[in-house]
């Protein structure tokens, strides 16, 4: 089984590959994230990578970018390149990181591995969002899904209370892990 750090790096690599296959007009398509296009979703991912980088490099936390126009600017005219660059920055930042080293976070000091376990949601779940917006197939990594599912199911309805996620959807207990993860985050796979 791979470590959370490896899962995080692999998720960004997969996301960059997915972005490379997006047809140019599809960047302006609506995404499953309310009020965001695929381009704005790419900007959100770039911003998220910058925030994680700041934490891991022990810099003060960055204020998240939430304005859709600003998110589109972060993605720029070439969202593919923006996501490739973000993936490269993630790789450089995580390369020599000690997984047990405490990182100062708004929730108190946490081991770097735990910070990345929380950050893993972004490249994994938003890869699904990007694929949906741009009509591409995507298969989420089973190990990353399993890592995320444990934490997401533990916090339950608290995620929707943050305003960052839709209410959880009901799925059968025997549903596959990816379907359970997406449903817990308020996402429905229309292909099912």
163 pLDDT exceeds 90? no
For the chain, what's the residue count? 192
Give mean pLDDT, residues 79-84: 98
* Tokens 């720029």, residue located: 76
The H-assigned helical ranges of 3-119 are: 4-20, 38-56, 68-75, 79-95, 112-119
Q: What's the confidence (pLDDT) of residue 168?
A: 84
1 pLDDT exceeds 70? no
Give mean pLDDT, residues 92-117: 90
140: how many CB neighbours lie within 10 A of its CB?
19
Quick one: pLDDT band at residue 190, thresholds 50, 70, 90?
Answer: low
Chain-centroid distance of CA 60 in Å reads 21
Quick one: pLDDT band at residue 192, thresholds 50, 70, 90?
Answer: very low
How much of the chain exceeds pLDDT 70, in percent? 97
116 pLDDT exceeds 80? yes
Compute the distance between CA of residue 34 and CA of residue 87 in angstroms, rounded to an integer: 24
The mean pLDDT value of the chain amounts to 91
Token pair for residue 11?
A: 């998720």
14 pLDDT exceeds 50? yes
pLDDT tens for residues 125-147?
999 999 999 999 999 999 999 99
Compute the half-sphere exposure of residue 48: CA atoms within 13 Å on the CB side of its CA: 21
Helix axes 38-56, 68-75, angle to 10 degrees: 80
Q: Which of 29-43, 69-83, 108-122, 153-167 has the lowest mean pLDDT?
A: 153-167
Quick one: pLDDT band at residue 60, thresholds 50, 70, 90?
Answer: confident
Nearest to 133 by CA among 8, 26, 25: 26
Domains and CATH numbers, the chain: 4-184 (1.20.120.450)
Token pair for residue 123?
A: 């490249």
């Amino acid at each position: 089984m791979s470590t959370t750090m490896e899962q995080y790096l692999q998720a960004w690599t997969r996301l960059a590959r997915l972005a490379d296959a997006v047809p140019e007009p599809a960047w302006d398509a609506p995404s499953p994230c309310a009020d965001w296009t695929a381009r704005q979703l790419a900007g959100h991912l770039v911003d998220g990578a910058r925030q994680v980088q700041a934490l891991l490099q022990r810099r003060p936390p960055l204020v998240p970018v939430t304005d859709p126009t600003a998110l589109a600017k972060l993605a720029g005219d070439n969202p593919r390149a923006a996501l490739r660059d973000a993936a490269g920055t993630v790789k450089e930042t995580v390369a020599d990181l000690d997984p047990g080293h405490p990182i100062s976070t708004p929730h108190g000091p946490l081991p770097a591995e735990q910070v990345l376990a929380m950050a893993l949601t972004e490249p994994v779940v938003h890869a699904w969002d990007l694929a949906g917006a741009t009509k591409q197939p995507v298969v989420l990594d089973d190990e990353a899904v399993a890592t995320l599912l444990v934490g997401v199911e533990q916090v339950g309805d608290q995620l929707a209370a943050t305003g960052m996620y839709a209410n959880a959807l009901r799925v059968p207990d025997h549903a596959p892990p990816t379907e359970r993860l997406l449903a817990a985050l308020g996402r429905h796979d229309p292909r099912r």
